[in-house]
Structure 1
Amino acid sequence: MSTLKSIIFDLDNTLLWDERSIDEAFQATCGAVEQETGVSAEQFEHIVRQTAKQLFEQSDIFAWADMIEVTDLEALWGNFTAQHTAPLKKLSEMAPEYQRETWFLSLQQAGIEHPGLDVRLARMFAAERRKRPLVYADTLEVLHVLRSSYSLVMMTNGSPDLQQEKIDSIPGLSDYFDHIIISGTFGVGKPDSSIFEHALKLLGLTPQEAIMIGDNLNTDILGAQSVGMSTVWINHHHAEAPADRKPTFEIRCISELPATIQTI
C-alpha cells in the first residue's frame, strides 16, 4: 500500500512554460529591432542573451542571485519590488540599470546607433514577457485530479515578488496548493537540503510520504534525493540523466503524472 501523502511541484518549466514565454518575448522584441534597423532578429537575440548572461555574472549580486536561482533572463524583465532583506534591496536597485545596459551594449555590439532605443527595448521586452503567462496544456487538469487525493506544495526558486507575479498571472493556480515555498523568502534555494526539510516539516511528513516533481536534475531531483525523497523528472528535451541524478520516475510531460503516481 502506498504511503504517499503529498506531492511537491517545481514551478518554472514544470507547471509554467517559462522557457516558451521568454522565447516568444525575445522573438517579439528582436523582431521589432529587425524591422527598425534591418539587423537579423535571430542574430540580435543571440547577442542579447550572451550580453545578459555576462553582465549578470559580473554583477555584485550574482552569487546570492545564483544561490536562490534568480536567472539573468528573469533579471531582464523583473520589477523586483521586494526589499525586505539587503540582497533583495540590492537586486531591486541594480535591475533597471542592468536591463537598460544589456540592451545598450547589445545594440552597440550589433553596430546599431539609435539613441533611446535601449530604454525602449528594455521596456518592450518586459512588457512582452508579461503578455505571456503560459502554462502547459494539462497543468490545471492534472492539479485538479491530484488535489483530491494528495496535499500539494509548490517549491520554487527565485525572487519572492517575481515568482509570486508568475503564480498570480495564472488565475486559480495558487488555489491548488496547501503551501507555496519561494527560495528568496526562505533564504536558500534548491538543491539545498534545508528547503526540502522545511517543506516536509510544514507537512508533518517523512521523506517517504512525499515526492518531488520537477524539470531540473540539479535543483529538483538532486535536492529531493538528498533528503531521501522519491522524484519524478519531467524530461522535456529527451536528455539523459547522469548516474548521480537518476530520478525515481521519468516522464515527458505533466499529463503523464497522474498515471505515474498511481503506480506508487
Structure 2
Amino acid sequence: MLTEVTAVRYATPLREGGSLPGVVEVDDHGTYATYVMKFTGAGQGRKTLVAEVVCGELARGLGLRMPRLVQIRLDPVIGLGEPDQQVQELLKSSGGLNLGMEFLSGALGFDPLAFDVDPAEAGLIVWFDALINNVDRSWRNPNLLRSRGDLWLIDHGASLIWHHNWRTAETAAAKPYDASDHVLAPFAPDVAAAAERLAPLVTEELLAEVTAQVPDAWLVDEPGFATPDEVRRAYTATLLPRAKTIHERITLPGTDRKDATK
C-alpha cells in the first residue's frame, strides 16, 4: 500500500489540469514535503486515481522514471480559508484519502521542439503508453517533465479506459494503439526493442504488487466485483496478455497498422 501522509497546507491550484489538482505541503512522518494532490472529489472520480496508481507504479516497476506516489489524508477544514469557491468545494468534498505525486522542484514541461529524445527511450515510453492505452501524451499535452536532463512520466488518469466498463475490458484491451499523435512519435521510437526489454517484465507477480498499492477504499462497490481483490485481479487479467502482443498493434507515422514494428 502507498505510504500515507497528512496534508498540512493547501498552497495553490494547478489550473492547467482538468481535475484541478493542487500543490500541498504534507507531513511525511515528521518531514515536510511538497506534493501535487489529486482529489477524490474531482469530477473524474476515484477511477482516475486508481489509474494513476496502477500506471504510475507499473512504470516504476518497469524502470521508468515516475515521481513518488503517496496517499494524502485530507481534513476538509484545510480549505476554509481558500478564497476560490471552486477550490473550496473541491477540498470539502475530498475528505479522507487522496492521491499525491511528488513535486519535482525546478522541472520543466517537456517541449518536443526544445529537447531531443533518444529513439530507445522514446520507444520505452511509447510502448508503455500502448500497454496502458494512454491517450493523453500528445504534443498538445505531453505529460512529461524534464528534470536534470531526464524525462519523468506524470499524469496517467486518462489511461486504462476499459476500467470504466469492465464488461468490454477484454475487447477494448485487444484494440490497437494509435501513437501517430504521440509527443514522442517524431523521435523514431524503437518500439520493437522496447517490447523485447519490457514485455517479459510484465508478470503476474509484478502486476499483483502494483495493484496492491491501490487503497481498498477506491475499489469497493465496483459493479460486478465482490471484493477489492477481485478488481485488482481484473487489472492483472487485462494487462498481462496485452503486454505480450501490443507492440504488434502500435501505429506510428509511416508504419503499417498490421506491422507497426517493421
Q: Taking structure 2 as the reference length, what is the TM-score of the superposition?
A: 0.26
More strand by share: 2
The structure with higher relative contact order (CA 8 Å, sep 6+) is: 1
Higher Cα Rg: structure 1 or 2? 1
More helix by share: 1
